[in-house]
Chain A
């Protein structure tokens, strides 16, 4: 099946710093990538939809200036959490699709903001 990678898998940072998370589709071209956030014992919440070469579409309540998304190529999307605060600590997961219905998920990035 399709493989999606994320880097880093773990990140710990100080409050006020910015963190960049990369999402790559390894064996297919991802026309669309999605970014989710998952808090402990909760389900996945969609943050934004990212199409290659265009601006991301953010879900209601997600600050686009805080969560910067760049989808510069068909195999790479990045999420930058700017000025991170402890409440941003979460499990961030990306998914990718080649235009078909199924989304394939990356392994996730656990962010801890001190």
Chain B
């Protein structure tokens, strides 16, 4: 089966850094995705990690440790527009199926 855990909510201040953790136990693994979803909208792609290590893309970075079943998304220099839900999703071994975690709602305060 698939089990993906991430915190439900996080609050941070504009300009600060927030780290969203995701742990997973899955029967197969072909990579881990992070998506951003604003309320009432569809998810937008942020990052894809398939190998261990840190991938940096502008203000957003994503880290993966396959041996620990662990990933995090790091958001730097937070802006008000970063208030959204962040979804961790694991790509299974077969059929390109994504299994999503429950999502982490991030609220950025002035």
B96 touches A46 (CB 8 A): no
Binds B, one of A12-20, A74-82, A100-108: A100-108
B96 touches A105 (CB 8 A): no
Size range of the chain A interface in the assembly: 20 to 34
0 or 1 for each of B25-54: is its CB under 8 Å from A? (1 = yes): 000001101010000111111001010000
Q: Which A residues form the contact surface with B (CB < 8 A)?
A: 1, 32, 34, 42-46, 49, 57, 91, 93, 95, 97, 101-108, 110
Q: Is the CB of B45 within 8 A of A42?
A: no
Interface residue tally for chain B (C-beta within 8 Å): 23
A45 contacts across to B, CB distance below 8 A: 100
Given contacts A43-B87, A101-B30, A101-B91, are A34 and B45 in contact (CB under 8 A)?
no
B contact set with A: CB distance below 8 Å: 30-31, 33, 35, 40-45, 48, 50, 87, 91, 95-103
5 A-B pairs whose Cβ atoms sit less than 8 Å apart in the complex: A34-B97, A49-B95, A57-B95, A103-B33, A103-B45
